A and B are shown apart, each in its own frame.
Chain A
Amino acid sequence: MQQLVRIGCAAGFAGDRADAALPIIGELASHRDPRFLMFETLAERTLALCQLEKRRDPARGYSPALERMLPGALGPCLENGIRIIGNFGAANPRAAGERIATLARAAGFPRPRIAVIEGDDVNGLFSTEELAARQMDGKVLDPCANIVAANVYLGAEPIARAFDEGAEVVVTGRVADPALALGPLVHAHRWDWKDWQRLASGTLAGHLLECAGQVTGGYFADPGRKDVPGLAELGYPIAEVEPSGELIITKPVLSGGIVDRRTVAEQILYEVHDPSAYLTPDVILDITDVEVMPVGPDRVRVVGARGKPRPETLKATAFLASGMLGEAEISYAGPNAPARAQLAAEIVTTRMAKRMPELQIRVDLVGRASLFGTLAPACSTDADATAEVRLRFAAQHAEREPLELLLDEVEALYCSGPAGGAGVRRYLTPRLASASCLIERDKVVPRVTFLGASE
């Protein structure tokens, strides 16, 4: 039985585009089982923020991306037999599951089989002192640290088990990102948990999918050098994986972006350190001999992954409270603008040195090598090393939503925009308008009520 498993990835981070799922669903719907749609929405920091939210409201604490991404995708997936796997659960997978059940009911599916995966939360399982003693780098946690969240990266086993038991939707908290693809693959292909070779191939498939558009031309474009068509409608990836583990990366037909040797090569090495030992909970992946071969338009075959037995230990990430970040910006333009900006910087730092001497302040002249910083001092003669552009978007509207939409689109440039985009900041500040009016005195009747109290 040569069964091909297809896994699409509709999100590579919490801020990813919410409408990327539909073209993938359209493509997957034209094929036969088994098909899966994966969502990776849990950056390290996202989980800590969700943990704080759960403390405020025990019914929350799941990824806010769930509300943006699932309402449009859930119905079409359930309708077409496309199973969903996502780490929307964050600090509260159970609440995420319940929310998904509600969304499913609203979409006309009263009883979908939703599996919730828990057990990644190890805060409370270990004392701060015990976690501190288990640090890899040994410098961040001290025994008195105020830990907000500590989660271990789970592997693919519970995900595969959930699908074995008939889940249509699997929602997890922290799992290793590639496990979101490996779980469905082990389930569908009946791979053995000691078949390091196939586990390595499945992990590589997951690694290529986990940042969504970053393998299909997102975070890649450099106009005139590496041109990518249709980035505004970037097609997110689909992996086709054979029982042997051989895999092809492609994307929906008629979508934007490209899948070629270059886009796949960049993503293979993304966030990899030693290519011979990419550690995951399920297998140690060795990509030293991986080769990529274009086999058709926007179709790239990836072969040569090797596996070694899984590590003895699991990795956990702990977050501790560490204060707040304050940021403020002001602009100067026209003749002598840099000198005026420099003068402004000196005024503020001089005054702050007197008023709050312990505060370490970083000052950037945005547009003058603020990203490369000391790597390329503003006096450098290398125009390329000092080149920098800060792109600013601004809009005003009576409601939050249209503005949130704009800010979301800008943030989504991380994974789906041009190469090297960095330093997104988003602020939503209430605006106040003022008007003066004249009111007839007899229309005004002073009245006092208390909130919550009956009349």
Chain B
Amino acid sequence: MSRNIEVALYRLAHARSGDKGDRLNIALICYDPAFYATIAEQATAERVAAHFVARRPSKVVRYELPKLCAFNYVLDDVLEGGVNASLGLDGHGKSLSFFLLTMKIGVNAALLTRCTTSEFRERLQT
């Protein structure tokens, strides 16, 4: 059993934001199916709510999509009123997918090495 190391979610998954009014959704997709269980266990709705606490989400729901190796997070009231009301540059929350990816996750070091390598292999094939 190899040791666990802490890495940003960015190492394990990619993400895309979408908005509807003041509601943000972030699709989080594992680079490798082997990461799904680790993320399922640690990137819970509660932890994501805590990660975004400065935006005071009124509700965070996580949907699981194992066939896509993905999760969909829906965060309510985190867009400072949304694109028609926010005074910020990013009223859509388009950049916030990358904020989710800064969240820290503990992952088995051997698994990370093996799957990062396989990611490179897949990239060479496409």
| Residues of A near any B CB (own CB < 8 A) | 45, 137, 219-220, 222, 225-227, 258, 260, 262, 265-276, 287-292, 297, 304, 322, 325, 360-362, 364, 366, 370-376, 382, 384-385, 414, 419-423, 425
- Whether A271 and B89, one on each chain, are in contact in the complex, defined by CB atoms closer than 8 angstroms, is no
Asked if B6 is at the interface of the complex by the 8 Å CB criterion, the answer is no
- Whether B14 and A371, one on each chain, are in contact in the complex, defined by CB atoms closer than 8 angstroms, is no
Inter-chain CB contacts under 8 Å: number: 132
Q: Which of B62-107 contact A (CB under 8 A)?
A: 63, 65, 67-70, 72, 74, 83-85, 87-99, 102
Residue picked from A260, A265, A361, A373, most chain B C-beta under 10 Å: A265
Asked if B47 is at the interface of the complex by the 8 Å CB criterion, the answer is no
Asked if B123 is at the interface of the complex by the 8 Å CB criterion, the answer is yes
Asked if B36 is at the interface of the complex by the 8 Å CB criterion, the answer is no
Asked if B29 is at the interface of the complex by the 8 Å CB criterion, the answer is yes
Q: Which of B25-59 contact A (CB under 8 A)?
A: 25, 27, 29, 52, 54-55
**Bound CA span A226–B91, Å:** 25
| Residues of B near any A CB (own CB < 8 A) | 8, 10, 14-21, 23, 25, 27, 29, 52, 54-55, 61, 63, 65, 67-70, 72, 74, 83-85, 87-99, 102, 123, 126
* CB<8 Å pairs between A and B, sample of 6: A269-B27, A272-B72, A420-B97, A421-B95, A423-B95, A425-B89
> How many whole Å from B21's CB to the nearest CB in chain A?
7
- Whether B18 and A375, one on each chain, are in contact in the complex, defined by CB atoms closer than 8 angstroms, is no
Partner of A269, one of B55, B61, B70, B99: B70
- Whether B63 and A275, one on each chain, are in contact in the complex, defined by CB atoms closer than 8 angstroms, is yes
- Whether B65 and A288, one on each chain, are in contact in the complex, defined by CB atoms closer than 8 angstroms, is yes
Residue picked from A137, A266, A362, most chain B C-beta under 10 Å: A266
- Whether A374 and B88, one on each chain, are in contact in the complex, defined by CB atoms closer than 8 angstroms, is no
- Whether A375 and B52, one on each chain, are in contact in the complex, defined by CB atoms closer than 8 angstroms, is yes
Partner of A270, one of B18, B88, B95, B126: B18
- Whether B67 and A291, one on each chain, are in contact in the complex, defined by CB atoms closer than 8 angstroms, is yes
> How many whole Å from A266's CB to the nearest CB in chain B?
4
Knowing A272-B72, A382-B102, A419-B97 are in contact, say whether A322-B84 is a contact too (CB < 8 A): yes
> How many whole Å from A98's CB to the nearest CB in chain B?
31
- Whether B95 and A269, one on each chain, are in contact in the complex, defined by CB atoms closer than 8 angstroms, is no
- Whether A420 and B14, one on each chain, are in contact in the complex, defined by CB atoms closer than 8 angstroms, is no
**Bound CA span A373–B69, Å:** 30
Q: Which residue of B lies closest to A291 (CB)?
A: B67
Residue picked from B15, B16, B20, B25, most chain A C-beta under 10 Å: B16
- Whether B67 and A364, one on each chain, are in contact in the complex, defined by CB atoms closer than 8 angstroms, is no
Q: Which residue of B lies closest to A361 (CB)?
A: B87
- Whether A292 and B89, one on each chain, are in contact in the complex, defined by CB atoms closer than 8 angstroms, is no
Q: Which residue of B lies closest to A226 (CB)?
A: B14
- Give the top 3 A-B pairs by smallest Cβ distance, nearest first: A423-B89, A269-B27, A271-B18
> How many whole Å from B69's CB to the nearest CB in chain A?
8
> How many whole Å from A13's CB to the nearest CB in chain B?
11
Residues of B within 8 A of A220 (CB): 16
**Bound CA span A304–B10, Å:** 28
- Whether A420 and B94, one on each chain, are in contact in the complex, defined by CB atoms closer than 8 angstroms, is yes
Residues of A within 8 A of B63 (CB): 274-276
Partner of A258, one of B19, B94, B126: B126
**Bound CA span A39–B67, Å:** 30
**Bound CA span A266–B65, Å:** 12
**Bound CA span A372–B80, Å:** 12
> How many whole Å from B12's CB to the nearest CB in chain A?
11
Residues of B within 8 A of A291 (CB): 67-68
Partner of B23, one of A273, A276, A373, A421: A273
Residues of A within 8 A of B20 (CB): 271, 273
